[in-house]
Structure 1
Amino acid sequence: MTVDQWYSYYDGLTLTAPGGLDIDHTVPLAEARDSGASAWTTKRRKAYANDLDAERSLVAVTARTNRSKADQGPADWMPPLADALCTYATDWVATKLR
């Protein structure tokens, strides 16, 4: 029997039950809207919200950590795990550029 595991790189926790996970938009939808996505077509906004083509856009993280982030960007929120800071900043910039 295998046990599924999910690693939340924001806080360094490994979960074995998906109920403790959220799927986080690296760049929150509200922040994207406030920084220009409000001018996008509905089709483009939906594509961004459901972007499965870039691993950096949507990440599985602990629900608690994702909810502490809410709609904040890096100026107001960074992952609590020090080892995640560079990855998060890189993912943020790559997502914004994409």
Structure 2
Amino acid sequence: MFGIGFSELILIFVVALLVLGPKRLPEVAKTLGRFYREIRSTVDEVKEVVVEEPKPKHQHHQYIPPQINEEIELEEEKKEEMKEKLKGEKITFKKNQENEINESGNKES
């Protein structure tokens, strides 16, 4: 514990007993114990956070030429257009399915 041997611990206890007296020593010991527990729990919480959250790796910012940026933007636009087109086709497909179900239901009647 803190690199303190048993003999040094006894010496600290005797000095504390002489300075504080037998009446205040238990109160001070309780207070120090509570303080130590609070510090220890805070240190444990910080350790958990540090262990759980990995350190970010060094990110190197690379230069991207403007031509490449333009190509990336065009590809993103094409991607969005395809999403919209597929969304419209999905709606049309669902409507066609509903119509087929309604027609087959009408034929069975």
Normalising by structure 1, report the TM-score. Answer: 0.22
| Structure (1/2) with the larger helix percentage | 2
The structure number with the bigger radius of gyration is 2
Normalising by structure 2, report the TM-score. Answer: 0.20
Higher RCO structure, 1 or 2 (CA under 8 Å, sep 6+)? 1
| Structure (1/2) with the larger strand percentage | 1
